[in-house]
A and B are shown apart, each in its own frame.
Chain A
Amino acid sequence: MIATLTVGERRTGAVLSVVLAVMGLAMAGAARHQVMAVHGFMAFGLGIGLVILLGGAVFDPDTTDGRQNRYYDAPTRFGIVMTLVWAVIAMGVGVWVAALLYWPEATPLWPATSFGRLRPVHTTGIIFGFGGNALIATSFYVLQRTSRARLADSVSPWAVLIGYNLFCFWAVTGYLMGSTQSKEYAEPEWYADLWLVVIWVTYFILYLRTLARRNEPHIYVANWYYLAFILVVAILHIVNNLALPVRWSVAESFPIWSGVQDAMVQWWYGHNAVAFFLTSGFLGMLYYFLPVRSGRPIWSYRLSIISFWGITFFYIWVGSHHLHYTALPYWVQTLGMTFSVILLVPSWASAGNAIATLNGAWSKVRDDATLRFMFVAAVFYGLSTFEGSFLAIRPVNSLSHYTDWTVGHVHSGTLGWVAMIVFGAIYTLVPQLSGRREMASPRAIEWHFWLAVTGTLVYVIAMWNAGITQGLMWRTYGQNGALSYSFLQSVQAMAPYYLLRTIGGALFLAGAILCAWNCYLTVRTAHGEAIDRPLIPEPAE
């Protein structure tokens, strides 16, 4: 990684690392609270580590000759490694929390290993750690290929990736120590939120600067989606996390929003984290890797325009479908419901466009497990958006809300769509970046595919059953006009489904571990540069 930097860049990097270390030390020194001190020391340690790494190489020879003729893929490689690391950590914790719901004592009696603290480790680790690293890593790759230009500079991609992972580690270690804002998918405390803003702005600027250097007149669809992901996530993150710290020296704060307004802001954020993190960004991934892998152009350009603007416009309205029958004013619920149903149109336009792209390449889908991952992803994208629009209808939501049906919907989207498209992209990228024609073990991909599909189906079907059973038990009245079931009876009825879900999740996790191992083997036997889309070199820097 360091050999790809010029001596000047190594110096800049070392200076930035010193700044990080000083910041960490200042944080640790000022902190009056255990969590913030630990986080300060984490930043300090990371800064010092990087200084040693970079400082040690300041006098090494500069081997970057002719690099303006090449794409800059070292950050992408690092990002993929982190994606896999987070996949294993966060899915592992996912299986653990799943097991805890079946067997509540399957955990040491320590605060840090309690269900309520592990659950956000799963959600943050998987959405931000796994999903976020995959998005950033692939966005760098796709941006360069579709622009036929090298990243605008070589330091900021590292700053983005390393800084982003520091945010993720702050977040999950914070929960374990009991630090949380309790807002779903926005649990990290105020200083971590501020840090993420800095990282995100750097990311956005790098993206625009690289686009400005492009040698293609048009900005390819994938980049629109990545851009929407970067921009809208920034807006959502800032508004939802506005908070007053209790003191500058402690990891505790109060959000400025309260009550109904807070609920609405939270789910405006929450649902659009789904939309712009878990959908828009991954559609960007799909729009690049699916055509590349299948060797066919996107089926309809017009449809891709309609679905892009449809998704960007309509999604923002739907957050209130998380608050049906609550104290949120009725008209806002109605708007949320209406737009959720309309949203099905652009969603299915995207899914359909992806599947139609495969027309004429079905034999490839049959033979190539990597392409099959992408195909299944598109199918699950279609399924989970249909389910979502259905769940958003008020009477349906009266049954499904608060139950495991929501969890089933979540995982049909995240396992079936998000994780599958990531694995498809990884299996396309890793050989490419290692200068090989294919992964070290094609058979392992095949195994992974079937583990992932089986795991997803077991998980999702178990949760559908669980959710509907739960919802019905809660609302069933007996002959005498009293409720038929106690809450506890509904808890007991869940046991077999929770067990099944744990098994499904374990299969999925096994597949992810297989993927990490396969990637390791592939990278270990890397050959060098692969055939790539030619870059149009910039005049010497």
Chain B
Amino acid sequence: MLKLHYNLEKISMGLVIGIIAAASVGGLVEIAPLFTIAETVKLPADLRPQTPLELAGRKIYMREGCYACHSQMVRSLADEIDRYGPYSRAGESAYDHPMLWGSKRTGPDLARVGGKYSDQWHVAHLINPRSVVPASIMPSYPWLTQSLETELLPDSLATLARLGVPYDKAMIAAAAADAPAQSRPDSEAAGDFAKRYGERPAVRAFDGDPSRLTELDALVAYLQSLGTLTSVQNTPPVEAAK
């Protein structure tokens, strides 16, 4: 062995190939099967893709680095289930490019935060967390009252559609209009929005002001959607795996 290595050290391409070979095995064994086995590729029947407004909110969540302090992955441990709710299933994040499971909980897990608080609470909390939770160390985000950019939404939906998220042509074409529509419950556009996305997504003035579409609208819509895109987490594991 030692002799063999003694000779290998004289050939740089030999080392290069050896390194690539040694470093490839583990990744191939662990990653490749994930694209085929039922546990990981099974889509929950009721999983809905995010609406354009929620998707815009997700982008803001990433932009502001909320994921650095908040996880979105309830582990299958008793205390986590008691604290946050049903543990997370693989299918829940099937449309998440990228996933936002996170690795640090400076703040609580958000996988089940949808519906936990009112919109007003979120708005006040985001603008200044200490106004509602005096001991909070979460940063303030007063600039989220600025208006939301919707120009990129059609292309964003089109890109996701190419990656396999079920957005149809009509959804892509109307994405820029559907974002404000979701925050104007009494408008005509809201009716068109409901035709495309069904009755499940909430249609409300998330930031309390239907006349303006702000980043707060998007982020709060996103937060309120967390844990509500499917109900697979409420089924017993055996059935979910089927």
Among B87-134, those with CB < 8 Å from A are 88-108, 129-130, 133
Contact A316 B20 (CB under 8 A): no
- In the complex the two chains form, what is the Cα distance from A319 to B28 in whole Å? 12
Contact A228 B23 (CB under 8 A): yes
Tell me, rounded to whole Å, the shortest Cβ–Cβ distance linking B28 to chain A.
Answer: 9
Collect the chain B residues with CB atoms within 8 Å of residue A257's CB: 97-98
Q: CB of A162 within 8 A of chain B?
A: no
- In the complex the two chains form, what is the Cα distance from A205 to B38 in whole Å? 42
With contact pairs A227-B19, A246-B155, A402-B105 given, residues A313 and B163 touching in the complex (Cβ less than 8 Å): no
Tell me, rounded to whole Å, the shortest Cβ–Cβ distance linking B139 to chain A.
Answer: 5
Contact B9 A327 (CB under 8 A): no
Tell me, rounded to whole Å, the shortest Cβ–Cβ distance linking B176 to chain A.
Answer: 13
Contact with B along A217-228 (1 / 0, CB 8 A): 111000010011
Q: With contacts defined as CB atoms under 8 Å apart, how many contacts are there between chain A and chain B in the complex?
A: 253
Among B9, B37, B94, B98, contact of A219 (Cβ-Cβ < 8 Å): B9
Q: CB of B239 within 8 A of chain A?
A: no
Among B83, B95, B98, B140, contact of A183 (Cβ-Cβ < 8 Å): B98
Contact B65 A327 (CB under 8 A): no
Interface 9-residue window, one of B72-80, B183-191, B196-204: B72-80
Q: CB of A534 within 8 A of chain B?
A: no
Q: Which residue of B lies closest to A250 (CB)?
A: B152
Tier of interface size on chain A: 35 or more
Q: CB of A295 within 8 A of chain B?
A: no
Contact B137 A491 (CB under 8 A): yes
Contact A104 B155 (CB under 8 A): no
Collect the chain B residues with CB atoms within 8 Å of residue A264's CB: 30-31, 34
Q: CB of A194 within 8 A of chain B?
A: no
Contact A483 B64 (CB under 8 A): no
Among A182, A231, A266, A325, contact of B62 (Cβ-Cβ < 8 Å): A182
Contact B98 A316 (CB under 8 A): no
Q: CB of B238 within 8 A of chain A?
A: no
Q: CB of A479 within 8 A of chain B?
A: no
With contact pairs A246-B156, A254-B159 given, residues A332 and B34 touching in the complex (Cβ less than 8 Å): yes
Among B129, B142, B160, contact of A254 (Cβ-Cβ < 8 Å): B160
Chain B binding surface SS class: helix
With contact pairs A116-B68, A117-B64 given, residues A316 and B99 touching in the complex (Cβ less than 8 Å): no
- In the complex the two chains form, what is the Cα distance from A261 to B39 in whole Å? 11
With contact pairs A247-B155, A305-B5 given, residues A117 and B65 touching in the complex (Cβ less than 8 Å): yes
Collect the chain A residues with CB atoms within 8 Å of residue B12's CB: 208, 211-212, 219, 227
Tell me, rounded to whole Å, the shortest Cβ–Cβ distance linking A273 to chain B.
Answer: 13
Contact A260 B40 (CB under 8 A): yes
Q: CB of B170 within 8 A of chain A?
A: no
- In the complex the two chains form, what is the Cα distance from A483 to B80 in whole Å? 10
B: number of interface residues (CB 8 Å): 85
- In the complex the two chains form, what is the Cα distance from A318 to B30 in whole Å? 10
Contact A258 B77 (CB under 8 A): no
With contact pairs A244-B159, A474-B83 given, residues A262 and B135 touching in the complex (Cβ less than 8 Å): no
Contact B99 A312 (CB under 8 A): no
Tell me, rounded to whole Å, the shortest Cβ–Cβ distance linking B109 to chain A.
Answer: 8
- In the complex the two chains form, what is the Cα distance from A512 to B38 in whole Å? 51
Among A481-495, those with CB < 8 Å from B are 482-483, 487-488, 491-492
Contact B79 A475 (CB under 8 A): yes
- In the complex the two chains form, what is the Cα distance from A349 to B17 in whole Å? 24
Q: Which residue of A lies closest to B129 (CB)?
A: A104
Enumerate 9 A-B pairs (CB-CB under 8 Å) in ascending A order.
Answer: A109-B143, A111-B143, A180-B65, A218-B6, A254-B98, A326-B101, A329-B90, A475-B79, A483-B82
Q: Which B residues have a C-beta under 8 Å from some C-beta of A?
A: 2, 5-6, 9-10, 12-13, 15-16, 18-20, 22-27, 29-31, 34-35, 37, 39-40, 59, 62-69, 71, 73, 75-77, 79-80, 82-83, 88-108, 129-130, 133, 135-143, 152, 155-156, 159-160, 162-164
**9 extra A-B contacts, CB within 8 A, seeds A312-B23, A491-B136:** A104-B140, A120-B65, A184-B103, A257-B97, A260-B90, A261-B31, A398-B75, A398-B77, A491-B135
Q: Which A residues have a C-beta under 8 Å from some C-beta of B?
A: 100-102, 104-105, 107, 109-111, 114-117, 119-120, 175, 178-184, 208, 211-212, 217-219, 224, 227-228, 231-232, 235, 239, 244-247, 250, 252-266, 268, 276, 302, 305, 309, 312-320, 322-329, 332, 335-336, 339, 398, 401-403, 406-407, 474-475, 477, 482-483, 487-488, 491-492
Question: 9 closest pairs, A vs B, by CB?
Answer: A116-B65, A316-B26, A317-B26, A325-B75, A259-B93, A327-B90, A402-B105, A182-B62, A178-B63
